[in-house]
Amino acid sequence: MGTSTRSAPGRSGPELPRATIDRRLKPPLFLLNLKCYPAALGPRADAIARSLASVGREYGVSVGLVPSLPDLGRIAATHRLPILAPHCDPQPPGASTGFTIPEALVAAGALGSLVNHSEHRLPPSRMVPTVERLRSAGLVTVLCTRDAAESSRWARLSPPYLAVEPPDLIGGSRSVSTARPGLIRATVEAVHRVSPTVKVLCGAGIHTRRDVTIALELGSQGILVASAVATAPDPRAAMVELARGF
């Protein structure tokens, strides 16, 4: 990684040398997935990244951002927060046109990747090589699951983070914290029986500080959110509302 101190576009002050940026994702974690929402692409993704970094500092919350793949490299190079990819493929370097491989993520400045998100599910045969390839490249895996049973199954891979998100609640008005609190507790217990070091995140329908607080009280070590911020009329206000729940 370089150690340039050039000022990034739209930001005041020098860019931190890459070596001095804290590249860890520390629980409790506020992880924001921008997906491919039109309001969170291109320059709008940069604005959200600036706001997220600012809110994290202001409220003392560990934050991370998952931008769309076309925005990832630019945002990783110009913003002071951990950046993850929305997906990764286990293909080897070289003749792998159209795939997103760990080496490309490292070169782009990413910290890690989501794996098996409900909108980009992997067949079981690809789960193990994907997680292993990310690990060998020194990248963080945030492995997404649907329920406690699936979480328990994949906890044996010991990903640093596992995010449980019931598909029917993703993008909706009901949060898993209030609609299915038992799922969070059951997932945490099931995962830790298999691999105590895995940190469980709570996703799906997280909108308010109360949703966040309940999720943490039930044993999760952070949240994975998307539409509550990415489609909000005022994304920064939405971030502040969630950050206050920590």
- Give 201's contacts (C-beta < 8 A, 6+ positions apart): 29, 31, 142, 161, 162, 163, 164, 220, 221, 222, 223, 224
Beta bridge partners of 140: 112
Integer Cα distance of 61 and 58 in angstroms: 8
Catalytic residue among 79, 87, 165, 241: 165
**Is the pLDDT at 6 greater than 60, yes or no?**
no
Integer Cα distance of 71 and 57 in angstroms: 23
Tokens (6 digits) for 150: 């699936």
Active site residue 117: yes
Integer Cα distance of 106 and 1 in angstroms: 9
The architecture that CATH gives domain 25-243 is Alpha-Beta Barrel (3.20)
**Is the pLDDT at 11 greater than 90, yes or no?**
no
Catalytic residue among 117, 120, 192, 241: 117
Quick: pLDDT tens for 35-77: 999 999 999 999 999 999 999 999 999 999 999 999 999 999 9
Quick: pLDDT tens for 172-185: 556 767 767 888 99
**Is the pLDDT at 5 greater than 80, yes or no?**
no
Active site residue 87: no
SS3 category, 80: coil
Tell me the torsion sign for CA atoms 92, 98, 99, 103. Answer: positive
Quick: pLDDT tens for 90-118: 999 999 999 999 999 999 999 999 999 99
Tokens (6 digits) for 107: 């070169």
Percent of the chain with pLDDT over 90: 79
Q: What is the DSSP letter of 244?
A: T
Quick: pLDDT tens for 146-162: 999 999 999 999 999 99
**Contact predicate 216/243, CB 8 Å:** no
Q: What is the DSSP letter of 100?
A: -
